[in-house]
Amino acid sequence: MHMKWTQDCRLGISKIDSQHRLLFAIANELLDIENPLEQQLEFKYMIDHLRNYVGDHFQTEGKFMEDIKYPEREGHTKMHNAIIEEINNTLKSCTDLRTLKERFQLLMSNWIKDHICEEDKRYAKWYHQNKQPEPKDFV
């Protein structure tokens, strides 16, 4: 199951849209691994890469929301923390690589559907409605 970037997921904030497209690509690379038991090094590398990139991306979004003074930033940050916690709990609780891949597939599809394409749209809409320029050091 591939995660497909569509215009519905576009926020109109270039740096964040670019990072979201890369998250889709990383998720797809991970999900393209057919047999995690036979491709353990690649699978573990992609899991680690995804986890690190998610953390970096959430820092970028957090700074952006702070810079534009988004009033719902605290709640959005709590969602980010919950996603990171879910990733970490999934990594801790799965002892079987096939199960881990299945759980990550579900996690990624839910996260992309619910968070990027819905929750992130809320701060993007607020940002565009308030006609604020992108922060200078953000581009």
Crossing angle between the packed helical segments 14-31 and 40-67, to the nearest 10 degrees: 160
CATH superfamily of 19-129: Hemerythrin-like (1.20.120.50)
User: Per residue of the chain (139 residues), what is the pLDDT tens digit?
Assistant: 678 888 888 999 999 999 999 999 998 998 899 888 889 899 999 999 999 999 999 999 999 999 999 999 999 999 999 999 999 999 999 888 888 988 888 888 888 778 988 899 999 999 999 876 666 666 5
Where along the chain do its domains lie? Answer: 19-129
Sign (positive/negative) of CA torsion 8, 11, 16, 17? positive
Q: Work out the number of other CB atoms within 10 angstroms of the CB of residue 119.
A: 16
Sign (positive/negative) of CA torsion 42, 3, 18, 114? negative
Q: What is d(CA 50, CA 105) in angstroms, rounded to the nearest whole number?
A: 12
Distances (CA, A) of 43 to 22, 74, 116: 17, 33, 24
